[in-house]
A and B are shown apart, each in its own frame.
Chain A
């Protein structure tokens, strides 16, 4: 079972539907977490959402508790939430991407995706990861072709993954495949 933690976003149920193609999915609000579902889940997903990671300390707590014990995936805010919990700084960008389609490139540190491949993704974020960023076993594996902003990370040791873009958006070309690979990693 996949447990999605919703940060009251208007895209969370697109994420739920995409995940439902592969496994049973449960979804609750971040302030309304069901402990038994959390313990039962094989994968925990942090949804997109408004605001910044510092607004969601409960989600960071869950992350720290289950890191290394369950597969964890973060989308958009969820991506930032994981990195923030790993000590990263999340900062405002000069250019803001809401409803923006851009191209990303998979770099050679990726173990899951075809190195060198490029594809179009949908973005909804005003904040980004401040770099340089270093955390043990974490690699930035995709970047925006134009700005170079971090778009995905992999931690294949602990099975922790994140996308700054939205794999569930209609603007992302092969989102389903991305999710499939993560869930079978």
Chain B
């Protein structure tokens, strides 16, 4: 079904819904019969839940939602110190009873009233950013981390129509892992480009991004590839992520089955080029959902490397809860398949506050000013929606 005005109908119905990008077009999930709010106590049970084997599964035999950053840390035994917190749920999953295919071109004639402020406040200014940056550089020199991503947060008080924002975002930035969740008391709008887990049967793959180049008229895809190949800093950062993702897959895959399927290719988006690799493997028997989530999340490319000591460094530094940022959104199907992204390039709207988090990497040869600006460039595509 793809009625032209379906999005108007669903939005006016006030029913919660989720839209998730797929190969061609989008899936819309709604009519939720169950909503599971996750916390540090029930997450294990949630992930260990077994589903009855069936001959035929319905298209809605799945749970769709997100794991926040804190939940994923807790799952692998990393405690987060006390932080400023807006008390947003640590994770939420929904059981849909209805799934609708939507075409690539989303049509929505919004009628909701919006009160939009275009000013954003940043939580770390360039001076404090540089301080953190220098501290982490020392940690790199002493070998405690090899690469670490500093997160900055942009905040704004607005009353927005999330679906309007999402539809506009898909026009300017049609990302392969984009999604929207609209529930009664919050919404998430995302143009995430990064797939973390794609599992079908015993086959699993991950597609890390490390390396971003802004598009200009002078650069085409071939030139972008050349830029990445010649740029030693980007190459080293990317190499590290490839080895780390190979490692994470190796925790759950049959020895010898983990393969680098696509090494360092360039993907083209509306405003930028990404440097991407594809790694896949064959899962060991008896590996459960919880093992997969614990091995792969939080996704390494947005954290740094090695994962555990870098997470500890980050958590001790950051004063504010990351909420959804660098968590994962996606679905667990009852037949065992799953797909999850990394929540980046996203807006969280909760209590009329919009929150956009971004991060860029510190490696030994990065420059504080450059990375600070890089953070702004990443946030800009989302901030521009408020104009």
Interfacial residues, chain A to chain B (CB-CB below 8 A): 8-14, 16-17, 20-21, 49-52, 77, 92, 96, 98-101, 122, 124-127, 166, 169-171
* Pair B143/A50 contact, Cβ less than 8 Å: yes
Instruction: Give Cα distance in the complex from A60 to B239, angstroms.
Output: 30
Question: A115 vs B98: C-alpha distance in the bound complex, in angstroms?
Answer: 67
Could you say which of B140, B242, B253, B308 contacts A170, with CB atoms under 8 Å apart?
B242
A83 CA to B115 CA in the complex, in Å? 65
Given the known interface contacts A50-B143, A96-B140, A98-B364, the answer about A122 and B243 at a Cβ–Cβ threshold of 8 Å is yes
With a cutoff of 8 Å between Cβ atoms, the chain B residues found around residue A16 in the complex are 250, 255
How far apart sit A38 and B251, CA to CA, in the bound complex (Å)? 21
Q: Which of B240, B247, B300, B307 is within 8 Å of A99, CB to CB?
A: B240
- Which residues of the partner chain B approach A98 to less than 8 Å between Cβ atoms? 140, 146-147, 236, 240, 363-364
Known: A11-B306, A51-B142. A99 touches B256 (CB 8 A): no
Identity of the chain B residue whose Cβ is nearest the Cβ of A52 in the assembled complex: B143
Using CB atoms, name the residue of chain A closest to B281. A17
Shortest C-beta distance, B89 to chain A (Å), equals: 29
- The closest CB in chain B to the CB of A7 belongs to B306
Across the interface, which residues of A come within 8 angstroms of B243, CB to CB?
Answer: 10-11, 14, 99, 122, 124, 166, 169-171
**Roughly how many angstroms separate A100 CA and B236 CA in the complex, as a whole number?**
6
Partner of A21 from the list B236, B247, B256, B309 (CB cut-off 8 Å) is B256
A to B contact number (C-beta, < 8 Å): 101
A126 to B246, CA, bound (A): 22
Give, as a whole number of angstroms, the nearest-CB distance from A136 to chain B: 28
Q: Within the assembled complex, what's the spacing in Å between the Cα atoms of A11 and B250? A: 9
Asked whether, in the complex, the Cβ of A124 is within 8 Å of the Cβ of B309, the reply is no
A9 near B306: Cβ-Cβ < 8 Å: yes
The residue of chain B having its C-beta at the shortest distance from the C-beta of A96 within the complex is B364
What chain B residues lie within 8 Å of A122 (beta carbons)? 239, 243
Chain A residues, CB < 8 A from B244: 10-11
Q: Which of A10, A17, A101 contacts B305 (CB 8 A)?
A: A10
Asked whether B145 is an interface residue with its Cβ less than 8 Å from the other chain, the reply is yes
State the Cβ distance, A70 to closest chain B Cβ, in Å.
22
Residues on B with C-beta less than 8 A from A127 are: 142-143
Cβ–Cβ contact A17 & B144, under 8 A: no
Which one, A11, A14, A50, contacts B309 given CB within 8 A? A50
Interface size class of B (residues with CB under 8 A): 35 or more
Residue of A12, A50, A51, A96 with most chain B CB atoms under a 10 A cut-off? A50
Q: What are 25 A-B interface contacts by the 8 Å CB criterion? A: A8-B308, A10-B243, A10-B244, A13-B250, A13-B251, A17-B250, A17-B253, A20-B255, A21-B256, A50-B144, A50-B306, A96-B141, A96-B364, A98-B146, A99-B235, A100-B236, A101-B239, A122-B239, A124-B146, A125-B143, A126-B142, A126-B364, A127-B142, A166-B243, A170-B239
> When the two chains form the complex, which single residue of A17, A50, A96, A169 contacts B258, counting CB atoms closer than 8 Å?
A17
- Report if B238 contacts A (CB, 8 A): yes
* A17 touching B256 in the complex, CB below 8 Å, given contacts A98-B240, A99-B235: yes
Q: Is A10 in contact with B300, judged by CB distance below 8 angstroms? A: yes
B237 contacts A by Cβ under 8 Å: yes
Task: Judge whether B260 is part of the interface by a CB distance below 8 angstroms.
Answer: yes
C-alpha spacing A69/B193, complex, angstroms: 52
Task: Report the bound CA distance from A50 to B237 in whole Å.
Answer: 16
Given contacts A50-B144, A99-B236, A171-B243, 19 further A-B contacts (CB under 8 A): A10-B243, A10-B247, A10-B307, A13-B250, A14-B243, A50-B143, A50-B145, A51-B143, A51-B144, A96-B364, A98-B140, A98-B363, A99-B147, A99-B237, A100-B239, A101-B239, A125-B143, A126-B143, A166-B243
Residues A49 and B246 in contact, CB atoms below 8 Å apart: no
Select from chain B the residue with minimum beta-carbon distance to A10: B306
For B146, what are the chain A residues with a Cβ–Cβ distance below 8 Å? 50, 98-99, 124, 126
| CB contact list, B145-191 vs A, under 8 A | 145-147
The CA of A127 and the CA of B139, in the complex, are separated in Å by: 12
Q: How far is the CA of A13 from the CA of B246 in the complex (A)?
A: 8
Q: B residues within 8 A CB of A77?
A: 143
- Find the B residue at minimum CB distance from A19: B255
Q: Give Cα A98 to B361, complex, Å.
A: 13
Shortest distance from the beta carbon of A2 to any chain B beta carbon, whole Å: 12
What 7 A-B pairs have minimum CB-CB distances, sorted nearest first? A99-B236, A20-B255, A99-B239, A10-B306, A13-B250, A99-B240, A98-B146
The docked-state distance in angstroms from the alpha carbon of A172 to that of B145 is: 21
Q: How far is the CA of A103 from the CA of B213 in the complex (A)?
A: 29
Question: A10-B244, A99-B235, A99-B238 in contact; A52/B142 too (CB < 8 A)?
Answer: yes
Smallest CB gap from A77: residue in B? B143
Q: Complex: how many Å from CA A12 to CA B263?
A: 21
User: What's the least CB distance linking A183 to chain B, in Å?
Assistant: 14
B248, CB-defined interface residue at 8 Å: yes
Cβ of A126: which chain B residues have Cβ within 8 Å of it?
140-143, 146, 364
A95 nearest CB neighbor, chain B only: B364
Q: Tell me the smallest distance from the CB of A81 to a CB of chain B, in Å.
A: 12
Give the CA-CA distance A171 to B264 in the complex, in Å: 12
Interface centre among A10, A17, A20, A100 (most CB of B within 10 A): A10
